[in-house]
Structure 1
């Protein structure tokens, strides 16, 4: 029964559905796409039967591949976050890519997923490689320097990024790449790119508009950003929500930069180190501004993300910042690692993941038998620390 639950559980079905959407939107021949989608459909159809629901026909399955994720999941496996669209603008949506990356190797592209011979590695293993490279710096201070380098140098001039990586003791190989073509803005024979005002990673350019490859950042900016082009000068980014970008700790500025001589982190390093790191650093900065509060980033070589002490509290908070697209997947990961039931570790999710808190607490309480609070949002945590410090 355990094997069946694993085989037809939420993680497996979400992965299969996002794989199918990726294959369906791939540039392969129609016959090849149908063959591979039919194979994936078989797994989802069995999951429907395993959960006591009517068989989902193949034609209905393919019709739903461009709609919301929820439309393809058995009722028993659905969560509130499943209303995300699988396809947007004729390609796999950013949210679907995120889901796929959380379940498969982040370095896999949509075309890679089509090839069934590619090993199915989890995002944890890619994170583990980078974590190992940071540990190889030899000291806790070296680890912190390496961690900040990956957060603060998501993209930029090649020599500057490479020098920072070398100074932090990290390898260039496998960590950086040229600015991807999907970020290029062509204007008067030159190619430019724009960094996200929150994380500085290259924004995707499509149909005259820019959008961060990380959907919550695009939402925080107030949506995609227009690009204005005038003769004889570089293109200019239109208006965005500067105040909201600042609340997420962003630099608030984005200007056109010629692509030549510029590089960025490979996507998995950006998604699983830069993105959560931005929130960790922002929380640390906010906490350090509170009178009497001390906050330590990545103590004990990142055993957890923050150790926070306040005058009105006897024990420190031990905080782990997590930013997953799928809260059920995160709950399963925490349980798989073990120790979450007995630990007083507090999981903090960014405010844009507020809807995940109830799912995390419910899943972790049920699995561990503990009634303690496992998860909260950044805002609620900061409020809690502020209150303790004021006692």
Structure 2
């Protein structure tokens, strides 16, 4: 009960922080309404803390926490190794960070509790995932696998190219949006796909005519660049990589003919999908190893079976690319314990490996669940194939 109470209070506080960040970044509305929204959020935030801690929360502390890290704003966020304490919802220019939308989906209080403070409510990420999958799970197995692979491999392209690749499936799903409606990725009329996931990267002014272009998911893996806007130039701006691992990127026009998957699809289908197919490609062709994609529809993503001449072994894999491991742990713990003798391996991006102990500790009591990074999982299977178990 105490854990559930803390979880409820942290989700409530995080929702208040996300709402406050949206209000703080809003420069188009009435100043009085904006101030009222911030005061409302501060009141909710204080209610999520104990009486002693709430006394230290004022508007200055709220604004500072939104820009420099949420640790002072979230109940019990001072736990060692808690990555939420370092999350920033506003950048130095007061603009919303990508974390707002992701965390708003992943950490959510029940609708009744949320409605007690605001006249709106947002869906849980787990519910939103299921809604996405519900649109395609009624397809025949081959079409289901094709849609999943297309969403992973072709997250942005011209409409004609997408229509040709999707063939008869095009138009049945509302997964794509015109990039021309996304000003946050428009760099002087051009967009730049991330070299790791191909989704448009965010473009933000960095001062003195310099713009920063980076992928929220793959920034730490080298997907961060800068460019200087040149007047009168033709063609896309030339990006300069921020590190040795930054790959070359070709821009495309921010025009109506170019479509990209929505952020929700990118977060919960494209990112885990690219992990799934990378695992498949790494393990396909090994003698004695059978790799099947989506054998049970959307129950899990891969079934890998070792047979002769290898020692028999089966892995069932479900890839997840959630930003918050705390919310992911909550969602996984709410799943019923299956009767299947094979545990489900939850695979997360290798870039989040430093936060993995947190997730492993939360799931320690569930023998039906294992968790590791995508690279570690491939390495484990390869060790088994070499007889190193």
TM-score, scaled to structure 2: 0.83
* Aligned positions, number: 368
Aligned to 1:130: 132
Q: Which runs of 4+ in 1 moved over 4 A?
A: 1-4, 76-79, 227-232, 241-246, 340-343
Q: Which residue matches 1:86?
A: 89
Compute the displacement of 1:358 (Å): 1.0
Gaps of 5+ in 2: 110-116
Change (3 A) 1:256 1:30: same
- 1:66 alignment partner, SS class: helix
Q: Is the 8 A contact 1:182 1:204 kept in 2?
A: yes
Q: RMSD in angstroms over aligned alpha carbons?
A: 3.2
- Residue 101 of structure 1: how far off its partner (Å): 3.1
**What is the Cα deviation at residue 266 of structure 1?**
1.9
Match of residue 283, structure 2, among 267, 271, 287: 287
Which position in structure 1 is the counterpart of 2:187?
185
2:360 paired residue number:
361
Is 1:196 equivalent to 2:194 in the alignment?
Answer: yes
- By how many angstroms is 1:62 displaced? 3.4
- For structure 1, the 5+ residue unaligned runs are 106-114, 247-251
Question: Structure 2 CA distance, aligned partners of 1:305 and 1:209?
Answer: 38
- Matches of 2:242 and 2:386, distance apart in 1: 32
Equivalent residues in 2 for 1:297-336, closer than 5 Å: 297-311=293-307, 312-336=310-334
Does residue 257 in structure 1 map to residue 253 in structure 2?
A: yes
Query: 1:1-391 alignment to 2 at 5 Å?
Result: 5=5, 8-27=8-27, 28-49=29-50, 53=53, 55-59=55-59, 60-75=61-76, 78=79, 79-82=81-84, 83-88=86-91, 89-103=93-107, 116-137=118-139, 139-165=140-166, 167-168=168-169, 171-173=172-174, 175-179=176-180, 180-186=182-188, 191-207=189-205, 208-212=210-214, 214-221=215-222, 223-226=224-227, 233-240=234-241, 244=245, 253-257=249-253, 259-288=255-284, 290-311=286-307, 312-339=310-337, 344-366=343-365, 368=366, 370=367, 374-391=370-387
Distance across 2 between alignment mates of 1:194 and 1:129 = 29
1:200-234 superposed Cα distances (whole Å, 9 cap, x missing partner): 1122222243534x423122125334367585631
Q: Which has the higher helix share?
A: 1
Q: Is the 8 A contact 1:196 1:254 kept in 2?
A: no
Q: State the TM-score, normalizing by the size of structure 1.
A: 0.82
